[in-house]
Structure 1
Amino acid sequence: MELGVILGDVHTTLSPREHLDGLLRQVDAAQRNGVRYIVMGHHYLYGNLRWLQPIPTLARIAAELDPGVRIGTMVVQAPLFHPVALAEELATLDILTRGRLVVGVGAGYRREEFAAFGVDFDQRFAMMDEALQIVRLLWTRDEVTFHGRFWTLDDVRTHIRPWQQPHPPIWIGALRDSGVRRSARLGDAWPVTPETRTSDMKRMFDVYAAARRKHGRPPVPRHPLRREIVPGRTSEAAFDRFEAMARDRLLAYAQRELATRDARALREEFREVARREAIIGTPDECLSQLRDLAGMVPVDPVIVRAQWPDMSSDEVVAYLDDLGRDIVPGLNEIVSIDARASENRSQGPCPTPTGAV
């Protein structure tokens, strides 16, 4: 299994210079410690926290990439872009990375962002569906005509194609079964959220596989997983570390309209939430939990967050150094189950892919 890092937000009291310097220092430390994916989320109007926009930021980070390291959006809010702009900006980014881009896409969850853009929040899933259809067409055809509910294109000529052919891998985020089916129909993998319990994951992967079969699409061997990994000298020290790193930020997510976060539970039962949603303990305990997880669900890479708003750059680097020393070597020896093998055993031959989405 491989390790990835998701880049996040910082307090606006941090100067832009300090923000950029810290970001590049984190990228350097991540790669030095064996991280193979560097991804970034997407938000607007984030109040007292600064969230750099992912496409230009990842273009800057591309200049720092070591061989074999990939970058990606995880996830970009497709309904807040015109599909032509989204397709061309991401294709450009794929070229700038020499074909090392992964495109993570989601529908968004904050009404405030949609209101600012004048976009109907209640139509966001239908808009994402249509936008992805257009993006794929623009990435794979010389001329595109499309008449949809939200956008119309008549005989437009494309001029930017991605480096990767036919296009970069598309990861489509989802929190519920309906979204997992959409991810199976339109994407190439489902990035599992940190709040998704292992028991739900197993069922939702079955939903994903059934939707792939329905649409004549081949099985996906493994899916990226967002999961915090927090090692410590003792289990108690590891829990203390995670609480200091993440508690306030996770509580803020609950207060920013993220439906999967329960503010009361985070305030009153933080450690119980942490046990369900994170890999925490001594290095041996963390690796044991990861082996157990890899034996149950087809996940790879595991993507962690190294930097939380209240952490200094030194603390971020120290955390990544701990992962590189104590977790990455053992993680690289773990092989997650392959969804294709289990599906072939249970379902027989997969229908011939049609390529249609």
Structure 2
Amino acid sequence: MRMGVILGDVSSSVSPREHLDGLLRQVEAAQRNGLSHITMGQHFLYGDLRWLQPVPTLARIAAELDDHVTLATTVVQVPLYHPVMLAEDLATLDILTRGRLVVGAGAGYREDEFTALGVDFSQRFAMFEESLQIMQQMWTQDTVTYAGRFWSVEDGHTHIRPWQQPHPPIWIGAMKDRGVRRSARLGDGWPITPETRGPELVRLLSVYEDERDRLGKPHVRHPLRREVIPAPTTEAAYARFEAMAKDRLLAYAQRQLATRDADEISQQFREVARQETFIGTPDEVVAQLRDFAARFPVDPVLVRAQWPSMTSDEVVAYLDDLGRDVVPAVAELESVARVVRDQAQD
């Protein structure tokens, strides 16, 4: 199993120079510590937090990319673009990475972003599917003619083909049955959110695999979005996660726990952490990852190293801990799994 990092937002009070310097430090630390994927999501008009746009940012990171690392958009909001423009941007990015790009694509979920950009939020899923069809034609055909509900292309002569053929792998985000079936039908993997766990994860994976079977497509492994929090003791790991994600803790408290005292809020947060993260001593974290990998077809695991309240030094220290205590053991799990599969095939 591999591990990667998702680049997140920072406070808008951080200067653009500090933001870029911290971002490049994080990328260097992630690569140095053996992480295999550097990924980035997308938001618009994000208020007090700054979220850099993924395509130009990943293009800059491509100049720093080590041979073992893949870049991914997790996820780009497809309906907010004209598909010809997005197809050419992503094909360009695939070239700049020398074919080490995964296109993570989604329909979006914040209505205010759609309203600001003049896009009908209620039509986002239909727009997503139509856009993806045009993009795939743009990546594989010399000439594209397409007449759809939302976009039309007449005798469009393509001029940018991706490095990868026929095109980069596509991860399609989803949270409900219909979206998971869409992901199975149109993509090459389903990014699993931290909130999707337990019986619901089992059920949705079954939905995905049933749809792949119906279409005669092979089963795949899915990127898993989860925090991985190692520390010398279990108690220190929970304290570390509270410090990293304290803004999330406060927001959660304001929404649901405003009448409770600090000890109750902390206990509730720890219960959420227990369910949504791999947390504890390095040995405990690796055991949790081993158990999860034995039950579910996941790869890579994507962590968030940068939270808005963290300094660059804290981000690098966290990635150094992952590289020393977790990444090598997780890579061994993958090696063992590969040997088992190879022996079964023999």
The normalised TM-score by structure 1 is 0.89
User: Which residue pairs with 2:109 in the alignment?
Assistant: 109
Q: What SS does structure 1 have at the residue aligned with 2:74?
A: strand
Residues 95-150 of structure 1 deviation map (CA, whole Å, 9 limit, x = unaligned): 00100001000111111110011101111111111111111111111111111111
Question: What are the residue-to-residue correspondences of 1:1-357 with 2, within 5 Å?
Answer: 1-220=1-220, 222-249=221-248, 252=251, 263-264=255-256, 268=265, 269-335=268-334
Contact 2:77–2:108 under 8 Å retained in 1: yes
> Is this contact kept in 2: 1:296–1:337, CA < 8 A?
no
In structure 2, give the amino acid aligned to 1:79.
P
- In the superposition, the TM-score normalised over structure 2's length comes to 0.92
2:344 alignment partner in structure 1: none
CA distance in 2, matches of 1:84, 1:153: 9
Q: Distance in 2 between matches of 1:146 and 1:250?
A: 47
Task: Determine if contact 1:37/1:69 at 8 Å carries over to the other structure.
Answer: yes
Identity %: 67
1:276-308 per-residue CA deviation (whole Å, 9 max, x = no partner) reads: 100000000000000000010000110000000
Read off the aligned partner of 2:212 and give its amino acid letter.
Answer: R
Relative distance call for 1:74 and 1:319 in structure 2 (3 A) is same
Which runs of 5 or more residues in structure 1 are unaligned? 256-261, 342-357
- Compute the displacement of 1:249 (Å): 3.2
Render the CA deviation track for 1:195-229: whole Å, top value 9, x for unaligned. Answer: 11033222211111111122232222x11100100
**How many pairs were matched up?**
333
Residue type matched to 1:315 in 2? E
Name the aligned partner's letter for residue 191 of structure 1: P
Q: C-alpha separation between the residues in 2 aligned to 1:208 and 1:299?
A: 13
1:337 Cα offset (Å): 7.0
**Partner Cα separation in structure 2 for residue 205 and residue 78 of structure 1:** 24
Q: Equivalents in 1 of 2:281, 2:255: separation in Å?
A: 27
Contact persistence 1:91–1:160 (CA under 8 A)? yes
Q: Taking structure 1 as reference, are residues 108 and 337 closer, same or farther at Cα in structure 2, changes over 3 Å only?
A: farther
Worse overlay, 157-166 or 263-272:
263-272
- CA distance 1:265–1:202, shift in 2 (3 Å): farther
- 1:272 aligned partner, one-letter code: E
Question: What's the offset of the Cα at 1:155?
Answer: 1.5
Equivalent residues of 1:202, 1:296 under 8 A apart: no
Which stretches of structure 1, 4 residues or more, deviate above 6 A after TM superposition? none
Tell me the amino acid that sits aligned with residue 204 of structure 2. M
Contact 1:41 1:74 in 2 (8 A): yes
Whole-angstrom distance in 2 between the partners of 1:142 and 1:250? 51
Q: Distance in 2 between matches of 1:186 and 1:250?
A: 36
1:265 CA displacement: 6.6
**AA at the equivalent of 1:246:** A
The 8 Å contact of residues 249 and 269 in structure 2, kept in 1 or not, is answered as: no
Cα distance change of structure 1 residues 126 and 69 upon mapping to structure 2, 3 Å threshold: same
Whether the aligned pair in 2 keeps the contact of 1:225 and 1:302 (CA below 8 Å) is: yes
Alpha carbon RMSD of aligned pairs, Å? 2.1
Structure 2 unaligned blocks of 5 or more: 342-346
Shift of 1:250: 6.3
**What is the rounded CA distance, in whole Å, between the counterparts of 1:242 and 1:6 in structure 2?**
16
**Distance in 1 of aligned mates of 2:255 and 2:140:** 44
